[in-house]
Structure 1
C-alpha cells in the first residue's frame, strides 16, 4: 500500500493524499469495497492522520503506478515492515515512524496439532502450506505446497491436505473467523513491526504522526480495530477516539 502526502510548509491546511489499491489483496490490513469494514489499515490510516490534524484525500492508482510514484516522490509514504528489507534498511530517502502494529508469521495448524508444531524446526523436510508467489526466507528446508491465498490455506488445513502452513498471524485469524474454521498459531516463523515509511523531505510531519500513534495505542483503539477483524466475537463497536 502506498499513500501520497502533499504538505505545504505555509499556514494553509495540510492535505494528505493516499492510495489504497496497492494493498487490495492484503486482507485484513486492507479490504476493498467494504464500507465500514475497510480493514485494519483502511480504518487506521484516516484515524491516525485525523488525530494528527492532517487532512486526507483518497486516490485509487494501480499498484505499479503507486510503487513508481513512491520511488519518484509523487507519493510520500507507505506502510512496511523493516524486517522485509535487508539489514532493515528501507532506503536513504525515507524515515520511519514508531511501530504501529506488531506483525508476525506463524506456523498455523489445527488446534489438536498445535503442540506438534511448537518448534519451528519441525517444518524441516515436511510438506508445508504456502501462498503461491510469496517469498519465504527458509523455503529451502521444507517442501512448498502452494495455494492461492491465506483463505485457501485455512481450508486446506481443515480438508487435511496439509498438516501445517505458514501465514501471517492476522490474515490467518481473520480467515479462520470468516470461514468459521478454527486454527491455532503454533511456532513463530518470522516477526517484526509495521511502520509508516515517510520520505525525508516531509520529516517535520513525523512528530505529529508519532504522537497520534502513541495516543491511539494508549486509548486502546489500535488494538480494538485489530480485534474487530481477528477475534471470534463480533465487535460492533470499539473504543472511540474523542473528537
Structure 2
C-alpha cells in the first residue's frame, strides 16, 4: 500500500510539474539592437534574421510559450536583470571570465559567433592585436556587451550600420562588430572595411533567468534536435547567402 501511495504522489508531482512547464510563458526581446543584421532584421517578416527564425522554432520544439517584447537597447539588460524579460541570446565570450552572472543559467551552444576589430582597409595593419584597443576610443553598439570595455573608451552608435559610417567619416579609427553584420553592412554601403584582429570568439547561448532553470533540459533537447535535423544550419546558410542579403537591403 505504501508503494502505491508513493507512486500516486510521484505521478501527481510529475503532472503538476508538466502542467507548470506547459503554462510557463517566457518573455524575450530578440533584437538587443534595432538592427543586428543578419541575426535579427527589423521590419522584414519574410526574412526576420537568423535568431528571428530560430527562436520561435526552438521554443515551440521545447513546448514553451513565448511573449515577444520590443524594449530599446538600453532597457534590455535592465529588463533582464529585473525579471521584465526572461531570456536573451549572448556569447559567454562577451563577458569577463565568461561569467554570465549569478542571476542566469545558460543553455548549450546554439551556433558559433565571432567579433572582430573592424577598421578601414588602409588602417587594418594598425589593428592586428586585440590589446591595441587599450586606452583608445572605439566604436561600439549601444546596449551591447563587451568583455573588456573597461580597457577602452566606448563611443556608442545605434547599430553596426552606423559603425561602418563612423569609420568612413573618421569619427573613430576602429570599432568592434560581429563579422557577419560588419561584412553585410560594408557591402550595402560599399565601404572598404577590413576585419582586423579577433576580439572575441565563442558560441551563442540562451541566457536564461535562474528561476526558470528547470526548463533547461527541454531547451537543450530542442537545440540538439534542431542541430541534428539540420534546421539551424539551413537557417544560417539562408542568411549568409548573397540572395538573402540583397532581399533585405
Same fold (TM over 0.5): yes
CA distance in 2, matches of 1:228, 1:70: 30
Cα 1:112–1:232 shift into 2, 3 Å: farther
Pairing of 1:204-219 with structure 2 (within 5 A): 204-219=214-229
Give the conservation status (yes or no) of the 8 Å contact 1:228–1:235: no
- Answer yes or no: is 1:108 the counterpart of 2:118: yes
Relative contact order (C-alpha < 8 Å, sep 6+): which is higher? Answer: 2
Answer whether contact 2:29 2:69 (CA < 8 A) is retained: yes
Q: Deviations over 1:93-144 (max 9, x none)?
A: 3211011122222133567887x46832695799886237576737868x98
2:234 matched residue in structure 1: 224
Partner of 2:53: 43
> Which stretch of structure 1 is more off in the superposition, 33-42 or 181-190?
181-190
Deviations 1:182-221 (A, max 9, x none): 6543331222322112223322211121122122223333
CA contact (8 A) 2:31 2:40 kept: no
Q: Which residue of 1 aligns with 2:244?
A: 234
1:14 correspondence with 2:14: no
Taking a change above 3 Å as real, the CA distance of residues 110 and 131 of structure 1, as seen in their structure-2 partners, is same
How much does 1:40 deviate? Answer: 2.2
Q: Is the 8 A contact 2:30 2:89 kept in 1?
A: no
Query: 1:130 aligns to what?
Result: 139
Aligned 1:32-111 pairs, distance under 5 A: 32-61=42-71, 66-109=76-119
Q: Which has the higher helix share?
A: 2
Q: Residues 39-92 of structure 1, C-alpha deviation per residue, up to 9 Å, x if partnerless?
A: 222221101111222233333455566544433435322222222333222223
1:141-160 CA-partner distances (Å, limit 9, x unpaired): 8x988766422343466678
Distance 1:92 1:162, change over 3 A: closer
Instruction: Confirm or deny: 8 A CA contact 1:19 1:61 kept in the other structure.
Output: no
Pair 1:129–1:226, CA change in 2 (3 A): farther
Aligned counterparts of 2:157 and 2:168: Cα–Cα separation in 1: 14
* Deviation of the 1:172 alpha carbon: 0.5
Contact persistence 1:154–1:176 (CA under 8 A): yes
The SS at the match of 1:30 is coil
CA RMSD of aligned residues (A): 4.0
- Aligned pair 1:27/2:24, yes or no? no
Q: Which residue of 2 aligns with 1:4?
A: none
Mapped contact 1:94–1:198 kept (Cα < 8 A): yes
8 A Cα contact 2:35 2:160, kept in partner:
no
Q: Which residue of 2 aligns with 1:189?
A: 199
Per the normalisation by structure 2, the TM-score is 0.68
CA–CA distance in 2 between the matches of 1:68 and 1:163?
30
